[in-house]
Amino acid sequence: MTMPTVDWGTPSASGTEGLRERKKRLLRRRLTDTATAMFLERGFDAVRVAEIAAACEVSEKTVFNYFPSKEALVLDRPEATMAALRTGLARAGRAPVDAVLDVLAGELDALLSWLAAQPDLAAACARVQAFTALVRSTPALRAHHREMAEHLEGAVAEALADRTGRTVDDPLCQVAATALLGLCRVQSSSLRRNLDGARTPEEIRVAVTADVRSAARLVDTGLAGFAPAG
């Protein structure tokens, strides 16, 4: 989770996607895009799920078939992130830090690909910043985001336990999971600083990647490597 996990429009379908799967994916995206636009315009609490359903010409029940809650309409994809982390951490030949860096790089690529495709980069960056501000200023969305982060941390601790033969409540697995997911927060913070509308997507990539990799080196070396600045 770099920024809140909304789908900014990068297709994720495989070449073998059938018509039914494509229709479901497109409706899912239409629901989340519509909800995001309405929330940004009017505020999260002022918009009812029934209004989102009406705008998409579906029933309210259909919305909840795709999303378990109103919050999930704009904070989506935790299962995909969890699956990617589990897969990466299960690879014996891949260091845990590198596995997390792979997932973060993929999420960064998705966001920057969306930005690069927009006709007005500054406006697109402003939209992402407005979305992040919406989440940070809305108690229900903040709580949902924290809940997702806790589930993700538990999944990472479990994957580390499987990898090392420890138990999931082993202090080392708990601390390692917290440290690894700290890289997600570093990426989010760096994006907020660098999505200023002046930098190109490639300049954003370079700056954010440098911040994340700097933090990753600290995770790799431990606090013994936390030297004074300069």
CATH of residue 52: 1.10.10.60
User: Do 103 and 54 share a structural domain?
Assistant: no
Q: Is 169 part of a structural domain of the chain?
A: yes
Q: Is 213 part of a structural domain of the chain?
A: yes
User: Do 141 and 218 share a structural domain?
Assistant: yes
Q: Residue 7: its pLDDT value, please?
A: 54
Q: Is 227 part of a structural domain of the chain?
A: no
Mean pLDDT of 209-222: 94
DSSP for 112-152, please give it. Answer: HHHHHTSS-HHHHHHHHHHHHHHHHH-HHHHHHHHHHHHHH
User: Do 142 and 58 share a structural domain?
Assistant: no
The mean pLDDT of the chain is 90
How many CB atoms sit inside 10 A of residue 107's CB? Answer: 22
User: Do 95 and 192 share a structural domain?
Assistant: yes
> If 0-12 CB within 10 Å is exposed, 13-18 middle and 19+ buried, where does residue 98 land?
middle
Mean pLDDT of 183-209: 96
Which of 31, 38, 9, 22 lies closest to 131, judged by CA?
38
Final residue in a domain of this structure, among 51, 73, 95 = 73
Task: State the Cα–Cα distance between residues 156 and 162, nearest whole angstrom.
Answer: 10
The predicted-structure confidence for 23-58, as pLDDT tens digits, reads as follows 998 999 999 999 999 999 999 999 999 999 999 999
Q: Residue 222: its pLDDT value, please?
A: 85
* 94 pLDDT higher than 50: yes
* 14 pLDDT higher than 70: no
How many domains does one find in the chain?
A: 2
Task: State the Cα–Cα distance between residues 64 and 17, nearest whole angstrom.
Answer: 23
Q: Residue 183: its pLDDT value, please?
A: 96
Q: Is 31 part of a structural domain of the chain?
A: yes
Q: Residue 13: its pLDDT value, please?
A: 47
Q: Is 37 part of a structural domain of the chain?
A: yes
Q: Residue 66: its pLDDT value, please?
A: 93
Mean pLDDT of 171-188: 95
How many CB atoms sit inside 10 A of residue 11's CB? Answer: 13
Mean pLDDT of 172-178: 95
Q: 12 or 194: which carries more pLDDT confidence?
A: 194
Q: Residue 198: its pLDDT value, please?
A: 95
Q: Which CATH number characterizes residue 204's domain?
A: 1.10.357.10
User: Do 157 and 97 share a structural domain?
Assistant: yes
> If 0-12 CB within 10 Å is exposed, 13-18 middle and 19+ buried, where does residue 191 land?
buried
Domain of 208? 78-222
Q: Is 36 part of a structural domain of the chain?
A: yes
Q: Is 125 part of a structural domain of the chain?
A: yes
